[in-house]
Each structure stands twice: as structure tokens, then as C-alpha cells.
Amino acid sequence: MLESSEYDSKKKKMEQGIQMFLEAMDLDLKDQHLKGTPERVARAWLEEFGAGNFVSEEDIKKILSIDFAEKCDEMIVLKDISFTSHCIHHMVEFTGIAKVGYVPDKRVVGLSKLARIVDVYAKRLQIQERLTRQVAEAIKKHVKPLGVGVVIQAQHNCVACRGAFKPGSKMITSCLLGKMREDKAMRQEFLSF
């Protein structure tokens, strides 16, 4: 998380950049709807859209450290985790759902932590392939399961609203680590959910 002085410094720079962008678009900054827009956009990126950029590795460790000793050796899956992210190439939104699963090794993690870790990485300028891998690798590193799998399905506005103009198209990515990758039956079980 950002310290107050760092937040203020970043916010000021963002406001200046947004104001320059709006001016370059030949927009009237005195328009009632544009008054305050640079400040609102800066706050949105610092506190929401880009907030994951300011989450440290230590914060991620804390999120995933809420675990419990449990005799559980069956797969645990949380699916239909909705998220919103922004494409690093065009800074437009992509939205989707994630499925996160793991096979514990004597410890289980608090269920909400799986959803929170998706949000941490989604709230960055992203590509879906990297987002998928980052979630899987964070769980592997901090939860230390026997295997982990992440599948993400998303619709990208950079494909729907520009370039190819293909609304409704979906991208699917996966990352399987440990036993989830090595064991064909386990992999199939996870993918079938």
C-alpha cells in the first residue's frame, strides 16, 4: 500500500497526464462533466483499477498465510470468481471469471483468499496469460500445495471495441503446476469442473 506522500505525488502526476490527454483530444475542460475528471481518473487508478500495482510481495504472503491444518488430500476448487482488469496494451477493460484449484499438503488456505489473490493481480495493467500464471505461482509459493491450477476466461474490450471488432469473443488461459500438471487424472478432474 502507498504511503500518503507517495500517493499524493503519484496522484498529482496522473492528474497532469490526464489533463494533457483531454486537452490533446480538443475537449473543453470547462465543461461541467470534465471538471474534476483528471482527479477522479487518478483516484480510480490508484485506488481501484491499478491498486494491485501497489501490493507488495509481503502483502501477497499475508493474504495467503491465513491457513489451517487439515487432513484434506482432495482437490479444492473455487470457481466463477469474477474479476475486472485492464489490458496493458490499450488500457481498456477486460472482464471474466477465474477457476482456482489446489491439492493441499496438510494445510488449507482460507477460501476467500483465493478470490482475493485473483483481484490483487487483476488490478494491474495486465495480459490474461500473465494474470493466470501470477495467480498460480503465488498460490504455489505461499500455500505450498501438491498441485495448483488456474483457468481464466475473459472478454477483452480491446478485441470487441477496436481492432478486430469481435464482441462476445472469449479468451481462455490456463496454468497448471505440480501434480495438477503431472498427473493426467488430476489435471482432467480439475479441468472438468
Q: Which domains does the chain have, with CATH numbers?
A: 4-49 (1.10.286.10), 67-192 (3.30.1130.10)
List pLDDT tens digits, range 148-160: 999 999 999 999 9
List pLDDT tens digits, range 104-160: 998 999 999 999 999 999 999 999 999 999 999 999 999 999 999 999 999 999 999
d(C-alpha 138, C-alpha 62), whole Å: 11
In this structure, are residues 118 and 100 in contact, taking their beta carbons and an 8 Å threshold? yes
Is the backbone of residue 144 left (phi > 0), alpha (psi -120 to 50) or beta?
left
List pLDDT tens digits, range 34-46: 999 999 999 999 9
